[in-house]
Amino acid sequence: MLRRFFKKLFILPMVVLAALFMFVEEWLWDHLTTFMAWVARAPALRWLERKLAALPPYGAMAVFLIPGLLLLPVKLAALYLMTHGHPGRGLAVIIAAKVIGTAIVARIFTVCRPSLLTVRWFRRLYEWIVRVKTRLYTAIKAMPAWATAVRWKNAIKALLPKKGMLTRQWKAIGQLVRSKFSRKS
């Protein structure tokens, strides 16, 4: 009985946290992929991407896993900072490592995807992750909390000035960023 109580008490916050993590990760992935495509227009990076795209499946897998391994010492350094009285710096290092790592992994996956998906177990793992993500999104969007959050977002959006200077500047910045990052290589 007590176990069921704690399960009910903690399952919703944990699902919401997991969904929030996935939403942030996917948002980062999408936007950083676009940014990295813009960065990859540099001649040296175009050359490197051609070499990566030509890798055999397990070579592409090794390259795909390298950024995660290289970030491990950075995360350990962040943990060291946190345990030695610098939690803000440690958190900043972890966030920077997450953003940079996600950008690099997203680009490598985009370039090496055809080769990676020829490995049967990798393809099955990828398809399983996509199915789980879809089920989680569907479950989250069916929750009353999701509908409430969407209503709050829309209410806040409705309160913002439509034609104010801040809105115009924000839209101009958004258009500038989109025009810079949406150009294909």
User: pLDDT tens digits for 67-95?
Assistant: 888 888 998 999 999 999 999 999 999 98
Residues 87 and 155 in one domain: no
Q: CB within 8 A of 101, min separation 6: which ones?
A: 67, 68, 71
Residues 112 and 156 in one domain: no
Number of domains the chain contains: 2
State which residues form the domain around 152.
144-185
Decide: helix, strand or coil at residue 109: helix
Decide: helix, strand or coil at residue 55: coil
Torsion sign, CA atoms 95, 105, 19, 157? positive
Is 0.85 topped by the overall pTM? no
Q: What is the pLDDT of residues 21-45, one digit of tens each?
A: 777 777 777 777 888 888 888 888 8
